[in-house]
């Protein structure tokens, strides 16, 4: 048998407690705890007590064997933007729910409007932030057509769903999810509970009616989509548009994709006419200038693509008791580890030196293959030594000072060769290296410094 129990649920964060309180212990909001009822099992426990026959409240579901399931390719919508389709795995899957996040002004709305230009069929643009006149002004500035594009200025999710079911668009764009609210929840728009409810309703509409919905999400100061983490769990695809507002390059990165891989990235350049695809981006982050101390070229892997990036280091005597470590585009904690390795393994006097590190072009790299380039850039800046021109350096550095192999070595060498580089310093490997340029394999930091 089952019995009905009472609990109190916070309308702001959905936290549950057994007794009423004036203030929610999870989010700190006052007077948000509302009485609710749940159905719980009654009877003896598994570890002891009397045994009772447990009667199911609902009939069991139908179980399907995986051997009986025939898998076919997902029907996809080609957006006409190859960089966008690449990240999605070949296009937008029909009936999917896609979440696009990014900093304000990074180009999210511009990107979704460009997608609508290449689609056949109706595209419904729902905005709770901008008026139809503002959207029309942007469309005119970008010289976009509006034949298949309709606008709805609404924030009530029930009204939006009713409109979607009536219009039956090929693609519905929601800008943004944080402005929507449901009449079923008493909390304000943008709260944890509202974001969860609105996303769940949109997901149900997308799946039952085979309508593709693309929602735009705000980001927090940490660069993550605002709202509960369940927001990312509910949707099928999560994309981030990255880049600096005052830089021209934009990187579209997938962090979740139920219909494909997340190992691809898309590269765009922001211009007055919108986002322009960069289909061969290997050298876009290189600057044309003479080699200087602290400047090193490295080969970084993003997805299936290799980028040649300039790593710049600046080392100067500190004016404070504790030396500063600053990095842009590279993990600061990783920089601290590499600095300690240089001090311990090579005896470099960096304990009284400020170190500033920059990856030119605004690209943020997390893979450890650029460790060796970072170390040699710091050494070059400290000793005021200019590395030879047309040199590419890559490799992972361990805490013992050893240089460890990285993946996709052949692809990195091939890209460096195509761009005219003459020399490569890389980890020692058992792989057979076939290249027209000079390849130097090193085992530790001391050996690498001798080769530069």
Question: Is there a contact between 144 and 113 (Cβ–Cβ < 8 Å)?
Answer: yes
Are 324 and 199 within one domain?
A: no
Domain boundary among the residues 247, 277, 307 is at: 277
φ/ψ of 19, rounded to 5, equals -125, 150
Q: Is 101 annotated as a binding residue?
A: no
Are 259 and 299 found together in one domain? no
What is the 3-class SS of 97-113, one letter each residue? EEEEEECCCCCHHHHHH
Domain boundary among 243, 277, 311: 277
Known binding residue 422? Answer is no
Are both 319 and 368 inside the same structural domain?
Answer: yes
CATH number at residue 95: 3.40.50.300
Same structural domain, 246 and 377: no
Strand order in the sheet with 325-328: 325-328, 353-359, 305-317, 295-302, 391-393, 423-427, 438-442
CB 250 within 8 A of CB 243: yes
102 marked ligand binding residue? yes
SS3 240: strand
| φ/ψ of residue 38, rounded to 5 | -130, 155
Beta pairing, strands 265-271 & 274-277: antiparallel
Judgement on whether residues 83 and 189 belong to the same structural domain of the protein: yes
Cβ-contact 12, 27 below 8 angstroms: yes
Q: Give per-residue pLDDT as tens, 18-76.
A: 888 888 888 888 888 888 876 555 544 444 444 444 444 567 888 989 888 887 778 89
How many angstroms separate the CA atoms of 415 and 264, rounded? 17
Structure confidence at residue 240 (pLDDT): 92
Q: Are residues 253 and 338 in the same domain?
A: no
In a domain, 49, yes or no: no
- Asked whether residue 60 is assigned to any structural domain, the reply reads no
Distance CA 214, CA 261 (A): 19
Does residue 47 have a known ligand-binding role?
A: no
User: Nearest-CA neighbor of 131 among 175, 172, 170, 161?
Assistant: 175
**130-184 residue pLDDT tens:** 999 999 999 999 899 888 999 999 999 999 999 999 999 999 999 989 999 999 8
- What is the distance between the alpha carbons of residues 116 and 129, in angstroms, rounded to a whole number? 19
Rounded distance, CA 143 to CA 140, Å? 5
CATH number of the domain enclosing 429: 3.30.230.10
From 245, 244, 265, select the one nearest 253 (Cα to Cα).
Answer: 265
Q: Are 390 and 262 members of one domain?
A: no
Query: What pLDDT sits at residue 228?
Result: 67
Known binder of ligand: residue 107?
yes
**Does 186 lie in the same domain as 115?**
yes
What is the domain count for the chain? 3
Q: Of 222, 244, 277, which residue is a domain's last? A: 277
- Report the percent of the chain where pLDDT is more than 90: 55
Q: State yes or no: 106 annotated in a binding site.
A: yes
259 and 180 housed in the same domain: yes
Asked whether residue 349 is marked as a ligand-binding residue, the answer is: no
Determine the Cα–Cα distance for residues 111 and 174; give it in Å rounded to an integer.
13
Do 319 and 427 fall into the same domain? Answer: yes
- In terms of residue numbers, what domain contains 9? 2-41
């Amino acid at each position: 048998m089952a019995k009905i129990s009472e609990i109190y649920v916070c309308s702001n964060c959905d936290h549950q407690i057994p007794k009423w309180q004036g203030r929610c212990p999870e989010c700190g909001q006052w007077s948000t705890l509302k009485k609710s009822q749940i159905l719980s099992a009654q009877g003896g426990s598994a570890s002891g007590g009397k045994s009772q026959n447990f009667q199911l409240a609902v009939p069991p579901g139908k179980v399907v064997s995986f051997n009986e399931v025939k898998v076919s390719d997902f029907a996809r919508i080609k957006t006409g933007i190859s960089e966008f389709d690449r990240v999605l795995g070949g296009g937008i899957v029909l009936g999917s729910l896609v979440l696009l996040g990014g900093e304000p002004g990074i180009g999210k709305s511009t990107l979704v409007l460009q997608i609508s230009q290449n689609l056949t069929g109706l595209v419904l643009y729902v905005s709770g932030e901008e008026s139809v006149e503002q959207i029309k002004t942007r469309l005119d500035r970008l010289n976009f057509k509006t034949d298949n594009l309709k606008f709805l200025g609404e924030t009530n999710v029930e009204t939006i769903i009713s409109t979607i079911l009536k219009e039956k668009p090929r693609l519905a764009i929601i800008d943004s999810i944080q402005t929507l609210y449901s009449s079923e929840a008493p909390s304000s728009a943008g709260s944890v509970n509202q974001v969860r409810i609105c996303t769940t309703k949109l997901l149900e509409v997308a799946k039952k009616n085979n309508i593709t919905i693309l929602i735009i999400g705000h980001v927090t100061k940490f660069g993550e989509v605002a709202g509960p983490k369940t927001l990312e769990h509910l949707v099928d695809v999560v994309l981030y548009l990255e880049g600096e507002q005052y830089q021209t390059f934009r990187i579209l990165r997938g962090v979740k994709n139920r219909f494909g891989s997340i190992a691809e990235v898309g590269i765009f350049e922001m211009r007055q006419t919108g986002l322009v695809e960069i289909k061969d981006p290997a050298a876009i982050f290189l600057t044309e200038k003479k080699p200087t101390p602290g400047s090193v070229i490295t080969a970084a892997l993003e997805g299936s693509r290799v980028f040649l990036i300039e790593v710049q280091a600046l080392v100067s005597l500190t004016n404070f008791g504790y030396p500063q470590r600053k990095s842009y585009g590279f993990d600061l904690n990783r920089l601290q580890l590499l600095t300690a390795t240089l001090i311990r393994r090579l005896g470099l006097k960096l304990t009284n030196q400020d170190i500033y590190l920059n990856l030119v072009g605004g690209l943020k790299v997390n893979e450890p293959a650029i460790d060796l380039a970072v170390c040699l850039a710091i050494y070059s800046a400290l000793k005021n030594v200019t590395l030879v021109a047309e040199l590419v350096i890559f490799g992972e550095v361990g805490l013992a000072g050893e240089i460890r192999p990285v993946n996709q070595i052949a692809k990195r060498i091939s890209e460096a060769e195509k761009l005219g580089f003459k020399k490569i310093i890389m980890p020692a490997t058992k792989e057979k290296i076939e290249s027209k340029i000079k390849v130097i394999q090193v085992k530790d930091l001391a050996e690498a410094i001798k080769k530069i």
